[in-house]
């Protein structure tokens, strides 16, 4: 993937080295099995999608720990300096794409912040561990990622390559786009009125749409700025396949439970990412109107 170290987003919030404050505990009685599955699947935090995030009247205040310096501060070398620059570049490129798309439709795009953290982090959606993977919090309109996830993406999930890493960010930004368009609120409201199986299906449609929107970004980035190199598309499609619910469940528990899918199968994720990549059209990403995913 071609990227320019000099053209980076300024919407990066580096909390690496800080001690997160766990301001509350999650209610809702999430079972251990569900937590394991959530922890294995990256994307929008399912607790947020199901309305199980921390709320003001159910939090337990705790003493704040003094944060330490982030890597690179105080003369300390930052081993992930180049990765941080790459993340800032990709975020900046998504900003260029979505600013242009929103402007064409007469809307204004509000750029999200991207928070880098280590181990655990406190967001407006609650306390999150790095094991849960990257996620988007609609309450504060921020994307959260521990850069160590990219090692898991390459080694554990067998999805190497810089475009695979870019796809992860573009997927989370896709959730931000859904939030700005009001889709996220509509889905959460629907999920509160239906059973678990139907709520899971809505979550799958939400995630597949974010995959499609990630493809829309890649399409526009390639046309406008020629960021893709040979093999990049294959990297992105492989990443989408490897993090499908079916493969993730197979790795974690040895068998697949389709009714428990929250992100879609690998085949579905590839199909919708490819659809956005090929068409570059937001209107082609309406997973909620699709009769077959």
CB 142 within 8 A of CB 113: yes
CB within 8 Å of 72: residues ≥ 6 apart: 78, 81
Q: CB atoms < 10 A from the CB of 69, how many? A: 12
Distances (CA, A) of 221 to 101, 147, 208, 218, 233: 12, 23, 20, 5, 13
pLDDT at 5: 67
Closest CA to 170 of 240, 261, 246: 240
Task: State CA 292 to chain mean position distance.
Answer: 23
pLDDT at 232: 93
List the beta bridge partners of residue 144: 115, 135
How far apart CA 180 and CA 185 sit, in angstroms, is 9
pLDDT at 21: 54
Sign, Cα dihedral of 21, 39, 215, 8:
positive
pLDDT single digits (tens) 142-165: 999 999 999 999 999 999 999 999
How far apart CA 277 and CA 181 sit, in angstroms, is 20
Determine how β-strand 135-137 pairs with β-strand 142-145: antiparallel
pLDDT at 7: 80
Q: Which residues of the chain have pLDDT under 50?
A: 23-67
Helix (H, G, I), strand (E, B) or coil at 137: strand
Residue with tokens 């404050």: 21
pLDDT at 181: 97
For helices 162-180 and 183-191, what crossing angle results, to 10°? Answer: 80
Q: Does pTM top 0.85 for this prediction?
A: no
Domain residue ranges in the chain: 12-285
pLDDT at 18: 76
Task: Write out the H or E segment, with its range, that includes residue 145.
Answer: strand 142-145
pLDDT at 96: 96
């Amino acid at each position: 993937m071609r990227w320019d170290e000099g053209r980076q987003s300024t919407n990066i919030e580096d909390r690496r080295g800080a001690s997160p404050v766990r301001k509350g505990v999650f209610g809702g009685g999430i079972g251990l099995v569900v937590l394991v599955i959530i922890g294995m699947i990256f994307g929008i935090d399912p607790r947020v999608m199901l309305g199980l995030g921390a709320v003001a009247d159910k939090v337990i205040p705790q003493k704040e720990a003094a944060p330490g310096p982030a890597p690179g501060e105080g003369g300390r070398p930052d081993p992930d300096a180049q990765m941080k620059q790459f993340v800032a570049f990709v975020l900046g490129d998504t900003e260029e794409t979505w600013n242009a798309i929103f402007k064409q439709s007469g809307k204004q795009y509000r750029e999200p912040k991207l928070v880098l953290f280590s181990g655990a982090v406190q967001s407006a959606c609650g306390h999150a561990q790095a094991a849960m993977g990257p996620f988007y919090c609609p309450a504060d309109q921020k994307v959260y990622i521990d850069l160590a996830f990219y090692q898991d993406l390459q080694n554990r999930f067998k999805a190497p390559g810089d475009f695979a890493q870019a796809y992860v960010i573009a997927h989370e930004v896709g959730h931000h786009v859904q939030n700005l368009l009001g889709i996220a609120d509509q889905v959460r409201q629907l999920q509160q009125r239906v059973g678990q199986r139907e709520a899971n299906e809505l979550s799958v449609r939400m995630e597949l749409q974010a995959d499609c929107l990630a493809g829309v970004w890649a399409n526009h980035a390639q046309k406008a700025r020629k960021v893709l190199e040979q093999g990049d598309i294959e990297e992105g499609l492989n990443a989408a396949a490897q993090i499908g619910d079916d493969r993730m469940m197979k790795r974690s528990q040895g068998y697949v439970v389709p009714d428990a899918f929250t992100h879609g199968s690998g085949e579905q994720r590839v199909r919708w990412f490819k659809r956005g990549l090929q068409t570059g059209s937001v209107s082609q990403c309406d997973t909620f109107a699709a009769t077959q995913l």
